[in-house]
A = this chain, B = another copy of it.
């Protein structure tokens, strides 16, 4: 029987990041990564296989070269059983590997709701992170014109934009009042809807799906809860992902109420020799402290880095403090980014917040070619002034601007500290120094805090 110091199950973002961080921190330990697929997809790149990229060959994760460079072992295979007592994994081919530490980085699978009729019809697709399946889907989509994407989260939006780009007639069907509803406040979501519509995607909000209907075994239309029918040559299900936690569950590891593997801040499961990272691992929201279902490759990598550091030696300051859910998405040459909590969610959760929004430009002066409007919104805890959420809209620089928002939230920065901070500006690269949207939004938020305070004083006085 083979033995390895650290056995990592899964080689997508979380597994890769854990392996790299772990080997970096513990160079004397032997690391072995085991994965199901011969070639691993760049997870977030999958929508782009259907438009911007020529083929899935251009979307392969270059993990092996990184493993080679670091002296990390890897093999293709599937773990079927974990013997926690003896610390041995058994693979589907019957071979066994002993471990000192085991890392569950088993990822997630697209949800196919059991209640939804017609998901087994031909030309109804989910988008698993599997190269062969994706290649088949891309092949099948050739010649299918009318595509209905069910679910307007960021993956649904990216698929819609890419399929539209490749010439298809795309309809997004979203159950909630807006697409991107979980990540953005209404005003940002509406802007995304408008841009998508202008690009030719048909956006249907407030439309729950009742059934997928077919003819001769092939999909023909989607029936909505409101009775409407949307004709479809193909359907893409983009209704979320569920954690691959069956192996963990079978091995007696504790799962949380949503089926994720429970972890602590060092990413340890209830077995001290087994850690879990990435989509399969429990997430708590940095702000609400509630369990979160948001799965992001970037979060997976942050968890992997931290897990790698703590594998053989815990550090009380190197902990994962909850997901800030920093992410961005692109529609055409516009981009949307979000970090922390939206204003709507903050209020629903019971936070006492004010917000500040400002729309400016992402170049200055505004007549420079390629200028996009840029809007930033900050969500601020009224009492402390601490920034707990941020949203941005603009051109491609929104991706890094969103990382700035994320860092501001992580650092528990107050809006007053932000207002005395320095930023850098350049005509072709950013908004203007006197109207940089982030700083203007902070000014407005600070002003709104004052207004609320004045109201409170007035209310107190009038009740006396």
For the complex, give the distance between the alpha carbons of A324 and B52 in Å. 39
In contact, B328 and A424 (Cβ under 8 angstroms): yes
Determine which residue in A305, A320, A324, A447 has the highest number of CB atoms from chain B within 10 A of its CB, and name it.
A305
Measured CA separation A439–B406 after assembly (Å):
14
B406 close to A408 (CB less than 8 A): no
A3 at the interface (CB under 8 A from B): no
User: Chain A: how many interface residues by the 8 Å CB criterion?
Assistant: 86
User: What mask results when residues 419 to 439 of chain A are scored 1 for a CB within 8 Å of chain B, else 0?
Assistant: 111111111111011101001
B369 near A52 with CB under 8 A, answer yes
Decide yes or no whether A178 CB sits under 8 A from chain B: no
Q: A17: which of B395, B404, B428, B433 is its contact (CB, 8 Å)?
A: B433
Chain B residue contacts of A301, Cβ below 8 A: 433-434, 436, 439
Annotate A32-60 by CB proximity to B: 1 below 8 A, 0 otherwise. Answer: 00000000001011011000111000111
Contact between chains at B305 and A429 (CB < 8 Å): no
A367 at the binding interface (Cβ < 8 Å): yes
Q: Does A330 contact B (CB under 8 A)?
A: yes
Closest to A300 in B: B433
**Total copies of the chain:** 2
Complex Cα–Cα for A323 and B339 (A): 28
Q: Does A368 contact B (CB under 8 A)?
A: yes
Inter-chain contact B403/A423, CB cutoff 8 Å? yes
Interface residues of A in 342-387 (CB under 8 A from B): 364-365, 367-369
Verify B42–A400 contact, CB threshold 8 A: no
User: Is the beta-carbon distance between A45 and B424 smaller than 8 angstroms?
Assistant: no
* Distance (whole angstroms) from the CB of A144 to the closest CB of chain B: 24
Known: A328-B424, A328-B426. A365 touches B434 (CB 8 A): no
Q: Does A280 contact B (CB under 8 A)?
A: no
Is A416 part of the binding interface, using a Cβ–Cβ cutoff of 8 Å?
yes
Decide if A108 is an interface residue (CB 8 Å cutoff). no
Is A159's CB within 8 Å of the partner chain B?
Answer: no
A400→B404 contact, CB < 8 A: yes
A59 touching B365, Cβ below 8 Å: yes
Does A397 belong to the interface (CB within 8 Å)? Answer: yes
Q: Which of A95-103, A250-258, A291-299 contacts B (4 or more CB under 8 A)?
A: A291-299
Q: Are B369 and A422 in contact (CB under 8 A)?
A: no
Q: Assess whether B422 is in contact with A402, with CB atoms less than 8 Å apart.
A: no
What is the minimal beta-carbon distance from A442 to any residue of chain B, in angstroms?
A: 10
Smallest CB separation, A19 vs chain B (Å): 10
Q: Indicate which residue in B44, B300, B339, B422 contacts A427 across the interface (CB closer than 8 Å).
A: B44
Question: Can you list 9 residue pairs at the A/B interface with Cβ under 8 Å?
Answer: A44-B427, A45-B427, A298-B424, A298-B436, A324-B422, A399-B426, A400-B430, A402-B424, A403-B430
Q: A400-B401, A400-B403, A404-B407 are in contact. List 9 more A-B contacts (CB 8 A).
A: A13-B433, A24-B447, A42-B364, A45-B427, A301-B434, A326-B423, A330-B428, A396-B397, A410-B421
Chain A residues in contact with chain B, CB under 8 A? 13, 16-17, 20-21, 24, 42, 44-45, 47-48, 52-54, 58-61, 66, 296-302, 304-306, 309, 317-321, 323-324, 326-330, 335, 337, 339, 364-365, 367-369, 395-404, 406-408, 410-411, 413, 416, 419-430, 432-434, 436, 439, 443, 447
A-B pairs, top 5 by smallest CB distance, nearest first, are A399-B429, A326-B424, A58-B367, A400-B400, A301-B433
